[in-house]
Amino acid sequence: MLPCCAVRTCHVLVLVLCLSAAEDFDWTKNDRGSFYYGTFPAGFSWGAGSSAYQTEGAWDKDGKGLSIWDVFSHRKGKILQNDTGDSSCQGYYKIKEDISLMKELKLDHYRFSISWPRIMPTGIKSDHVNEKGIKYYDELIDNLLENKITPIATLYHWDLPQVLQEKYGGWQNISMVNYFNEFANLCFERFGNRVKYWITLNNPWSVAVEGYETGEHAPGLKLRGTGAYRAAHHMIKAHAKVWHTYDTKWRGKQKGLVGISLSGDWGEPVDISNQKDIEAAERYVQFYIGWFATPIFHGDYPQVMKDFIGRKSAQQGLGTSRLPTFSSQEKSYVKGTCDFLGIGHFTTRYITQKNYQSGHGSSSYFTDRDLAELVDPRWPDPGSEWLYSVPWGFRRLLNFVKAQYRNPMIYVTENGVSEKIMCTELCDDWRIQYYKDYTNEMLKAIKDGVNVRGYTAWSLLDKFEWDEGYSERFGLYYVDFRNKNTPRYPKASVQYYKRIISSNGFPNQREVENWKRKATETCSSSNQLLAAEEQRSTAANILRLIHDPLTSHMEMVTEVVVPTVCTLCILLSAVFLMFLLRRHN
């Protein structure tokens, strides 16, 4: 066994040198790029995920109350092309259909979230509990279990009841702690006999920063320099309270686990021989995942956050830090409230030191960190603007978590890649590559000694991608949103992910190389099927437009020209692929 660093000085270079844990697996030897053939531990759980607002639709059906996302997405100009999640994938009506997709993949688990306003329309239990909403989740859970798929339920994936926002200011207000606890308690009571994996909050970083600092997400507040820290403080307390409720009231009977899902990019120093860059990269990760994980595992915020925000607040002439503090009682209440840690991870940044002056009114979460983010222009970036494929960053992040929080049990709760292309493309070879490389880095991390128990591909279906609307598609399955029935079509990555699952990893080079060829073979026929369907709906649109004298030029372009070009491009790529495959055989 290689000696592990006793004193954690926390900078990245030291991590790289010290973290190689397993005897036969040297971190530095296999650095970046090389592929590791091997399998995951027996019992490793493979899954896919979704969230309520992103997939369910049925936003105002069967007694559901409004969430902050219903209201936010209905405001003009907030979401790209003014898309909304009103009907989305219609998951609310498609339990059986979607479970058959999961079965096709042979998933061990499915991660979904419970919409708070669907089962408590105002967010307050004493107002009303909506039995129809409960029935929907009952059915979903029962169907999953009947098909031997383990449900992993998230209690909060961003859809706060609107009433709580309007009455109290949402997560700016401490009263959310009790309201969230009441909601969680009801979920434990009604579903806990069948759900054994609970995630309290999904990606609180995003809720805090994008919901209360930049305002890009619901509720759209721009409380720079304070809003995010306050929201985060209340969310951490809410998480802890729910964990204690489960621990004292339900764990004995139900024997489940309660965790939290934290998202974070990896931050790599631009220059690994420059101490300032090393510290800036460390800060980047501490301000991301450490912001939430450090209180939960160690009882307080990372020292570096306290130092930086405290100093900058003083420079602004404030009497106290903009970062709230925990009392000693609160510290011990919050510490240790995690049975497993959910990790959502998508990408990496290079980080360098950059100073920001803190003047009156100019403070923000971003300037508090004193750093700049960079990307390598050679990194592939097939979809979302922020998402570069940097697989080796995943292994580093997982090792960071192991070192910082005493090797907790980890479930990867989100990992995946989007596409942003005009033409429908089911032959998603870049997604295949992404999943292959990222899961391989996760395998290396497990060999390093990181305690990863499961992996959740994000996402099962294309869906509403928050402020980007439907323009970014993360799904393993393509969803045709232009068709009222929102049919699903498998992308090539379905076949590929399925093989990773059935082999529980990457058995040997010959076999793995075959997977990609086989996956793209099947997708060309799905492509044809979808192209035919699109042709049919384009023809129907043309007929409709001909009969409508008020048809605008723009409509003509978006509803006729673009789809026609897309259809042609799919057909051409299908023909080209068939040609390539013939030659290959």
Question: Active-site residue numbers?
Answer: 414
Structure tokens at 224: 């720079």
User: Please, which residue, 130 or 471, has the CB nearer to ligand NOJ?
Assistant: 471
Rounded Cα distance, 378 and 388, in Å:
9
Question: Whose CB is nearest to ligand NOJ?
Answer: 203
List Cβ neighbours of 167 (8 Å cut-off, separation of 6 or more): none
Nearer to ligand NOJ, 54 or 573 (CB): 54
Q: What is the rounded CA–CA span in Å between residue 541 and residue 483?
A: 11
The β-bridge relationship of strands 488-490 and 505-506 is unpaired
Least distance to ligand NOJ, CB of residue 541, Å: 29
User: 449 or 475, CB closer to ligand NOJ?
Assistant: 475
Q: Which is nearer to ligand NOJ, 168 or 430 (CB)?
A: 430
CB of 279 to ligand NOJ, least distance (A): 27
Q: How many Å apart are CA 448 and CA 451, to the nearest integer?
A: 9
Shortest distance in whole angstroms from residue 263 CB to ligand NOJ: 6
Q: How far is CA 313 from each of CA 73, 211, 342, 363, 500, rounded to the nearest angstrom?
A: 34, 22, 32, 8, 50
Contact 269, 212 (CB under 8 A): no
N-to-C CA span, the chain: 47
CB of 13 to ligand NOJ, least distance (A): 29
By C-beta, is 170 or 344 nearer to ligand NOJ?
344
Phi-psi region of 361 (alpha: psi -120 to 50; beta: other; left: phi over 0): left
Q: Minimum distance from CB of 413 to ligand NOJ (Å)?
A: 8
Question: Cα-atom radius of gyration of the chain, to the nearest Å?
Answer: 24
Q: Where are the beta strands (DSSP E) in 77-211?
A: 109-113, 150-156, 197-202
**Cβ 444 to ligand NOJ, closest distance in Å?**
23
CA–CA separation, 271 vs 276, rounded Å?
9
Q: Summarize as ranges the residues that interact with ligand NOJ (CB under 6 A).
A: 51, 54, 202-203, 263, 344, 414, 465, 474
**Residue 585 DSSP symbol:** -
Q: Which of 374, 385, 373 is nearest to 346 (CA)?
A: 385
**Residue with Cβ nearer ligand NOJ (91 or 225):** 91
Distance CA 422, CA 433 (A): 21
Closest to 211 (Cα-Cα) out of 176, 260, 259? 176
Q: Which residues contact 71 (CB under 8 A, 6 or more apart)?
A: 162, 165, 218, 219
Q: Are 322 and 313 in contact (CB under 8 A)?
A: yes
Residue 354 to residue 350: CA distance in whole angstroms: 13
Nearer CB in complex with ligand NOJ: 347/433: 347
Cβ 306 to ligand NOJ shortest distance, Å: 27
Decide whether 373 or 414 has the Cβ nearer to ligand NOJ. 414
φ, ψ for residue 268 (rounded to 5)?
A: -110, 130
Q: Nearest approach, Cβ of 561 to ligand NOJ (angstroms)?
A: 30
